[in-house]
Amino acid sequence: MAEEPHSRPRRSAPQDSTSPADPADRPVALITGASSGIGLATAVRLAGAGWHTLLSGTDRARLDELADRTGGRALPEDLSKPDGAARLAEAALAEAGRVDALIASAGLGWRGPYARTPSDTLDRMIEVNLAAPLRLVRLLLPGMLERRHGRIVLLGSMAGQVGVREESGYAATKGGLTMFAESLWYELRGTGVGVRLVLPGAVDTPFFDRRGTPYQRERPRPVTAERVAETVVATITTERDRLYVPQWLGFPARVHGAAPGVFRRMAARFG
């Protein structure tokens, strides 16, 4: 997914906190899942680089605290509701008039035998991990196309690249998001709107606490949310459009794509 040079946004992100103070002169980022983890770390980095941040999540108190810290605006919304994405897009455009970058980092997981997956948990994973990003892009993309600049950053997962035992539902939602990013990239070539896909392995965030099962594998070792946020920001301000965190995870993903049988034997042996 190598993007052509002429698709770079006309409005480039300020690189330090000395950027203009007027919000109208700053690029605008809408960040989902901003109340914790990767979303929170990304919001802090973007605010430090001069972006005006619109912060969405379900924890209003944490969003307000982050807004005070970064000078952003809290837009609490529950993306597990079918109309949540529409309400959030409407609120974001009402607040800032435009969105220059969408960072879809909200995500839910569950671990256990698929046959025992609670129906409501499965429904919420589908809504938050897959349906909400698709809906948000559909609502915000027309404005980006009209302005001929923008970034769509989707937080995928290695689970969506290679599959993970007892995480079938979660892997399916992230796999769908990967194919959405890949397909949309072809469609948007030359428009000035870039599609970015960030593919972390395990990340040390409250995600594992919320899914009800702690991270138990020896490898890969969890990386910090700040490390993933650094990669997210890099996808906005550079032409790199598909990044693994850590980078070495790109190797097993390539093995899986080229020789899935070999990968399965390796996975069975090494976990």
Number of domains forming the structure of the chain: 1
186 is catalytic: no
Rounded CA-CA distance 29/5 in Å is 22
| pLDDT given at position 96 | 97
Decide if pLDDT at 6 tops 80: no
| pLDDT given at position 242 | 82
| pLDDT given at position 20 | 41
DSSP per-residue letters across 17-37: TTS-SSGGGS-EEEEETTTSH
The predicted-structure confidence for 18-77, as pLDDT tens digits, reads as follows 344 455 679 999 999 999 999 999 999 999 999 999 999 999 999 999 999 999 999 999
Greater confidence, 230 or 238? Answer: 230
Placement of tokens 């909200």 in the chain: 106
Greater confidence, 206 or 169? Answer: 169
Q: How many CB atoms lie within 10 A of CB 265?
A: 11
| pLDDT given at position 42 | 96
Q: Out of 12-21, 42-51, 244-253, pick the least confident.
A: 12-21
Domain with 241 in it: what CATH number? Answer: 3.40.50.720
Catalytic residue chosen out of the listed positions 170, 186, 215, 244: 170
Rounded CA-CA distance 97/26 in Å is 12
Greater confidence, 164 or 96? Answer: 96
Placement of tokens 């906190």 in the chain: 17
Q: Are 181 and 243 within 8 A, CB to CB?
A: no
DSSP β-bridge partners for residue 198 = 155, 243
The proportion of the chain whose per-residue pLDDT surpasses 90, expressed as a percent, equals: 60
CA-based nearest residue to 23, from 34, 33, 14, 36? 14
Decide if pLDDT at 219 tops 70: no
- Helix spans in the chain (H): 37-48, 60-70, 84-96, 119-125, 132-147, 159-162, 168-188, 207-211, 225-237, 250-258, 260-270
Decide if pLDDT at 267 tops 70: no
| pLDDT given at position 2 | 38
128-132, 203-207, 241-245 — which one is most confidently predicted on average?
128-132
Rounded CA-CA distance 72/66 in Å is 8
Domain that holds residue 153: 5-270
Pairing of strands 203-204, 223-224: parallel
Mean pLDDT of 83-95: 98
Chain-wide mean pLDDT for the chain? 83
